[in-house]
């Protein structure tokens, strides 16, 4: 089954330029629970070091098996934009994003990997996982 009009009823950011973050938004999955794997790639994530307030850059990969809902990608873009001036340790970010996605999706499984760019000769990868 393709996308139907009812799938769009709860989406308030999709297709609107200048939309502000209203929370992660979801639409119904038409797949049998666990039969679909969704992977999101964010290659331009920025936040700040909580100590020095210097900018940090990362790639974020979110992989999940939806149960009833799929996250709408424009709301993900707006969600990530809210971190630009937030000071957060890399490992805390992975868990924070995982918790937020689990709260709205109730997925079968979900993995969030943050891969921060090298600073001072050290790069950090952190993964937070959720399984039902």
> Which sequence positions are flagged as catalytic?
49, 56
As a whole number of angstroms, the distance between CA 15 and CA 37 comes to 24
Q: Please check whether residue 87 is in contact with residue 94, taking contact to mean a CB–CB distance below 8 angstroms.
A: no
As a whole number of angstroms, the distance between CA 45 and CA 78 comes to 11
Exposure b/e, 78-97, CB count within 10 A at least 16 = b: bbbeebeeeeebbeebbbbb
As a whole number of angstroms, the distance between CA 111 and CA 85 comes to 24
Q: Please check whether residue 80 is in contact with residue 45, taking contact to mean a CB–CB distance below 8 angstroms.
A: yes
């Amino acid at each position: 089954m393709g996308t139907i009009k009812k799938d769009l009823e709860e989406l308030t950011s999709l297709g609107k330029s200048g939309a502000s973050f209203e929370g992660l938004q979801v639409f119904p999955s038409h797949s049998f629970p666990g039969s679909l794997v969704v992977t999101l790639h964010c290659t331009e994530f920025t936040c700040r070091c909580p100590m020095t307030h210097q900018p940090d850059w990362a790639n974020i990969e979110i992989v999940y098996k939806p149960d009833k809902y799929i996250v709408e990608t424009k709301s993900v873009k707006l969600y990530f934009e809210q971190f630009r001036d937030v000071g957060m340790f890399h490992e805390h970010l992975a868990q924070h994003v995982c918790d937020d996605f689990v709260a709205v999706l109730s997925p079968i499984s979900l993995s969030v990997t943050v891969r921060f760019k090298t600073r001072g000769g050290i790069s950090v990868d952190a993964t937070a996982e959720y399984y039902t």
